[in-house]
Amino acid sequence: MSHQALILAGGRATRMGGVDKGLAMLSGRPLLAHALAALSAQMPPPERVWVSANRNLDVYAGFGCPLLPDSLPDYPGPLAGVLAALERDDGAVWLVMPCDAVRLPADFSRRLLAEVAAGRQAASARDREGWHPSLLALGPGLRAGLAAYLAGGGRSIRGWLAGLDHVEVAFDHLFPNLNTADALAALEAEPRAD
């Protein structure tokens, strides 16, 4: 299925001490580089990969992807990045992932996109440790509803998805959740199993 991809790297990363998470290092490379590599191995590949970023734009530009800064002020969260993408192209199918999605199963995009192709508005990933609402596929035509949700004070991806025709897709693969420096260090020390 034809789609565009959005990597979310525009947040405050408060749980990581405010560092620019997409530029945090893992095995000598920024998290964004790992996320791009994981995405490039997916089939079908996206037509284009966008990066949601609000800081260090000159550094992010060096990765060769077009940048989408938030259109809303004060870093209101990952949904602001999603809104910027939908404002760019509300008719597209979008595959969305955070910049710490450094390991993806080979069938990640195919399985999520299949749910959208079957008529769902959204599909997100779940592993045996929990739900990952920021790993998702979005169908077209969601911009107005998301803009209204944000204008009403909504900030949670979970809350927004609750109002959509949404399905969780179960994967055996464990998705790392790198929200703290300790989690990043633990993944760095972990032997690769895949």
Q: Are 12 and 73 in contact (CB under 8 A)?
A: no
Encoded tokens for 175: 């998705």
Q: In degrees rounded to 5, what are phi and psi of residue 7?
A: -105, 125
| 10 marked among binding-site residues | yes
Query: Where does the chain show beta strands of DSSP type E?
Result: 4-8, 25-26, 29-30, 49-52, 94-98, 122-127, 130-138, 166-170
**Residue 9 labelled as part of a binding site:** yes
Q: Is 141 annotated as a binding residue?
A: no
DSSP state of 120: -
- What residues does 26 pair with on adjacent strands? 29
Burial label, 168 (beta-carbon count in 10 A; 0-12, 13-18, 19+):
middle
- What Å distances lie between residue 181 and 16, 52, 184, CA to CA? 6, 21, 5
* The total number of residues written for the chain in this structure: 194
70 is in an annotated binding site: yes
Q: How far apart are alpha carbons 47 and 55 in whole angstroms? A: 25
Annotated binding site: 8-10, 21, 70, 100
Binding-site residues for Mg(2+), in ranges, read: 100
Q: Which residue ranges are tagged as binding site for GTP?
A: 8-10, 21, 70, 100
